[in-house]
Amino acid sequence: MNIVIVGLGNIGGSFALSLKENADEHTVYAIDVDESTLQHAEREGIIHQGFTEPEEILPHADLIIFAVYPLILKTLVEKYIPLLKENVILTDVTGVKRSIIGQIEPLLPESADFVFGHPMAGRENRGLKYASGEVFKGANYLFTLTDSNKDSNIELLTSLVKRMGFKNVSSVTPEFHDDVIGFTSQLAHVIALSLINSDDVQRNTKQYTGDSYRDLTRITNINENLWPELFIMNKDYLLDHIDRFKSQMDLLKDAIETEDVDTMKEMMIEARRRYHDLHNLELPDSE
């Protein structure tokens, strides 16, 4: 199969590296605006060949993986449509789905099957130099299906990403995806940003931090050109999750204010139960 990765940054590069390592019967090409990135990737054997323009390679692509910002995706798909091979499979990696699918679906020709996807793996740093096939190992992958997706193509992609090391590969509706991602990823980013920005910078806090603070703020090395649009495209679900989080926080705050130890203990026991479930651990009988 000829696979074309569009956008050879952190995620696109990680796809290329992982495909090379785990599925090397495929030939992997890349399209990127940055010629030196492509040359580097060719020299390192990460891709077979790189292109700054799509005309030459796209008509030969059996699978196209768009690893680009959501705002660029529609423009690229529009530009690429005249060049697509019959029965091509397309997929993406964007973190919100309803809005993206709504933009892209109406553009697609009958014979092209766009299976929208979301690999849930690290992307704190930008650029090919941070790419690594390792980050996909054990990670979760979500495909958000539409009525036009062919079962055989969903199966092909599921089996491919499993070989790349993804563990839980789920097919869900775009609505479910945006709801759950609004919680596990977007709310987490809203919290981390709010935490680090509520620090008193006069204090030189870093001398007094433990692992907790570093863990909770790791994702604040955030890409400000990507995340505002992700938040906006999913704002209904995200605002809902923020409100639910704030309600929980207010319950705990009240318990602290009134020195209500029993309620705090209950909340902590419930949290520990959820922690153990999240990590598939047995809850110890007593400690």
Where in 173-192 is the site for a second copy (CB under 8 A)? Answer: 177, 180-181, 183-185, 187-192
Which position among 83, 145, 156, 252 is part of the footprint of a second copy (CB under 8 A)? 252
> Which of 23/120 has CB closer to a second copy?
120
Count of residues near a second copy by CB under 8 A:
92
Instruction: Report how far apart, in Å, the C-alpha atoms of 281 and of each of 141, 267, 268, 278, 287 are.
Output: 22, 19, 17, 8, 15
DSSP state of 9: S
Q: Quick one: which segment of 104-112, 146-154, 155-163, 167-175 binds a second copy (CB under 8 A)?
A: 167-175
CB of 222 to a second copy, least distance (A): 5
Instruction: Report how far apart, in Å, the C-alpha atoms of 35 and of each of 31, 52, 93, 113, 141 are.
Output: 9, 7, 22, 29, 30
Q: CA-to-CA distance for 98 and 185, rounded, in angstroms?
A: 16
Which position among 1, 72, 107, 256 is part of the footprint of a second copy (CB under 8 A)? 256
Q: Specify whether the CB–CB gap between 54 and 80 falls below 8 A.
A: yes
Which position among 52, 111, 152, 205 is part of the footprint of a second copy (CB under 8 A)? 205
Binding to a second copy (CB under 8 A): which residues in 206-245?
206-225, 227-229, 231-232, 235, 238-239, 241-242, 244-245
The set of residues, in sequence order, having a beta carbon less than 8 Å from that of 284 and lying 6+ positions away, is none
Which position among 25, 86, 110, 278 is part of the footprint of a second copy (CB under 8 A)? 278
> Which of 152/184 has CB closer to a second copy?
184
CB of 60 to a second copy, least distance (A): 32
- Which x/- pattern, by CB under 8 A, does the window 120-159 give for a second copy? xxx---xx-----------xx-x-----------------
> Which of 87/125 has CB closer to a second copy?
125
DSSP state of 259: T
Give the distance, in angstroms, between the CA of residue 188 and the centroid of all CA atoms in the same chain: 13
**Identity of residue 88:** V
User: Measuring CA to CA, which residue among 59, 48, 64 is closest to residue 4?
Assistant: 64
Task: Give the chain's count of helices (H) and strands (E).
Answer: 11, 9
CB of 193 to a second copy, least distance (A): 5
> Which of 52/197 has CB closer to a second copy?
197
> Which of 24/224 has CB closer to a second copy?
224
Q: CA-to-CA distance for 6 and 69, rounded, in angstroms?
A: 11
User: CA-based diameter of the chain, in Å?
Assistant: 69
DSSP state of 199: S
Which position among 35, 53, 155, 277 is part of the footprint of a second copy (CB under 8 A)? 277
Is 23 a binding residue for a second copy by CB under 8 A? The answer is: no
Q: Quick one: which segment of 12-20, 58-66, 104-112, 195-203 binds a second copy (CB under 8 A)?
A: 195-203
Q: Specify whether the CB–CB gap between 21 and 46 falls below 8 A.
A: no
Is 269 a binding residue for a second copy by CB under 8 A? The answer is: yes
Provide the terminal-to-terminal Cα distance of the chain, rounded to the nearest Å: 55
> Which of 72/268 has CB closer to a second copy?
268
The two tokens of residue 204 are 């030189």
